[in-house]
Amino acid sequence: MKSANRVTQIIGAALEIAHKSGLHSVTCKSVAKKLDMTHGNVLYHVGTADRLRDMTARRAIAERDRIVLANLITTMHPVAAEIPSELRREILSALT
């Protein structure tokens, strides 16, 4: 059984990577390295690299991580459509 705690830990590490280097830098390998675990173990818990990035993007929305959210908006990531409109306006205003 996949541990919810482990998934939370993986997404937390992925969010740290995204915050520092952008969502494109979030890979199963980069998260595995950060957590000192195997690439396969990360995949076991999250399924795919795309799912890992989507989960990370959604965590960024939940935590209102404006740096990662700005990255989602500017790269037109599909999950950016889920950013609440008020928060989106605030981020876009800060970018201009």
d(C-alpha 11, C-alpha 53), whole Å: 9
Taking residues 4-9, report their average pLDDT.
93
Q: What is the pLDDT of residues 69-83, one digit of tens each?
A: 999 999 999 999 999
Which domains are seen in the chain, by residue range? 4-95 (1.10.357.10)
- Chain CA centroid to CA 87, Å: 17
Provide the pLDDT for residue 86: 96
Show the tokens assigned to 69.
């959210």
d(C-alpha 4, C-alpha 95), whole Å: 35
pLDDT band, residue 1 (cuts 50/70/90)? very low
Q: What is the pLDDT of residues 12-64, one digit of tens each?
A: 999 999 999 999 999 999 999 999 999 999 999 999 999 999 999 999 999 99
